[in-house]
Amino acid sequence: VKGDDTRALECVEVVPFLCRARARTLAHALLIEGPPGIGKSVAASQIAAALLCRGNDSARACGACPDCLQGSGHADLHVVGPAEDKRDIGVEQVRELAATLARTSVAGRARVAIVEPAERLTEQAQNALLKTLEEPGVATWLLLTTRRPEALLPTVRSRVQRVRLKRWPSEVLDAWLGERSPDLTADERAFAVRASEGVPGAAMQLLTDDEVKKIDVELGRWCSALGAGGRVPPPQDLVGAVFAGATGGVAAEDRARTVLLLLQRRLASALRGGLASAERDAYGPARIRSWADALEEVLDAQADLDVRIPAPQVVLRALLAVEARLGASSPVPIRVPHGPLAR
């Protein structure tokens, strides 16, 4: 879900910042944090609009004035992200932004820069940004977004006010999905709410993205073979299917995150089921340990993505690790749930 989506995500944490933006009492540098799909881009756009709007609404941008109508093309709005085909936001881009902010006169009420995703700023770029964060200039605001605040230098973090977007409560997310997509069944919504762990963008993607659905089917097939204790198709085949047409760059990383999320959900669901029946089952404790170990492997793999190990390699390693924990050679019989997680 990206910033220009008008059917906006309404994160409660953003509300006070919108009011401060309207009152022009907002801190001059914000770091908007939260997991992928939580609505960081939307929040940044909403706050930027609230700063630029010349309307009278005290709680948000009016949506109707000449400033609001310019949207993301507003002359006083500067968006900085990785250049096409580049992974990082380089120091040159930051210098250019600083020069632009210094040079441009404010045509309207404010100058706003959005830097996203901020974790892609190189160390050099972060250092170059420090001065602008410290003295942004008159009526100038910087909005940084990140899924990984710990990737930023402490010197950057100490110069920004942090806005933490939290996962949505199940009932709120369920209601939001229902409102946005009235065609969804209660079962579909329940699946998305559970699998997305309260992240609206992820929930929506699970329900609507055909690519994700295809990946989930492949993953279900693999887990099914693993659970049956028979011959498991080589994880390499699964990796090949998952990354077809997206072997590098951000697309591959996103896909890897999706696979790991889906795998994580299956293991977590197995773990929950196992905990419920552990007392009646002699193998229970050992099996639960195996599931927990496998889950930990998947979480480790997510961390590997953060340190930029190539996505297909990360997924392959995770699948091999899960197979080793749960496969036929495992000391106790293991059943991993397969098929749609909705049941």
Helix H or strand E segment including 31: strand 29-33
Of 198, 164, 203, nearest in space to 43 by CA: 164
Question: What is the smallest separation between the CB atom of 126 and Zn ion, expressed in angstroms?
Answer: 33
First to last CA, the chain: 27
Q: Exposed, middle or buried: residue 64 (CB in 10 Å: 0-12, 13-18, 19+)?
A: exposed
Reported as half-sphere exposure (CB side, CA atoms, 13 A), residue 321 has a value of: 21
Nearer to Zn ion, 49 or 270 (CB): 49
As measured in angstroms, the least distance from the Cβ of 59 to Zn ion is: 12
* 8 A C-beta contact, residue 134 and residue 164: no
Smallest gap from Cβ 200 to Zn ion, in A, equals 25
Q: Which is nearer to Zn ion, 64 or 99 (CB)?
A: 64
Query: In the β-sheet with 161-164, what is the strand arrangement from edge to edge?
Result: 77-80, 111-115, 140-146, 29-33, 161-164
User: Of 62 and 190, which CB lies nearer to Zn ion in the complex structure?
Assistant: 62
Closest distance between Zn ion and the C-beta of residue 196, in Å? 32
* Beta carbon of residue 252, minimum distance to Zn ion (angstroms, whole number): 39
In angstroms, give the least distance from the CB of 10 to Zn ion: 18
Cα separations in angstroms, 248 against 238, 245, 255, 309, 311: 16, 9, 10, 11, 7
Closer by beta carbon to Zn ion, 62 or else 106? 62
- Residue 45 or 132: the one with the smaller Cβ distance to Zn ion is 45
Q: Which is nearer to Zn ion, 5 or 211 (CB)?
A: 5
CA distance 24 to 60: 12
CA distances from 210 to 182, 197, 205, 214 (A): 19, 20, 9, 6
Spatial distance between the Cα atoms of 139 and 160, rounded to a whole number of angstroms: 16
Instruction: Report, in Å, the least distance between residue 18 CB and Zn ion.
Output: 12
Task: Identify which of residues 106 and 130 has a Cβ nearer to Zn ion in the complex.
Answer: 106
Choice between 55 and 229, CB closer to Zn ion: 55
List residues binding Zn ion (CB under 5 A): 53, 55, 61-62, 65, 68
Q: Beta-carbon neighbour count of residue 246 at 10 Å?
A: 17
Give the β-pairing of 140-146 and 111-115: parallel
Q: How far is the CB of 107 from Zn ion (least distance, A)?
A: 14
d(CA 316, CA 304): 12
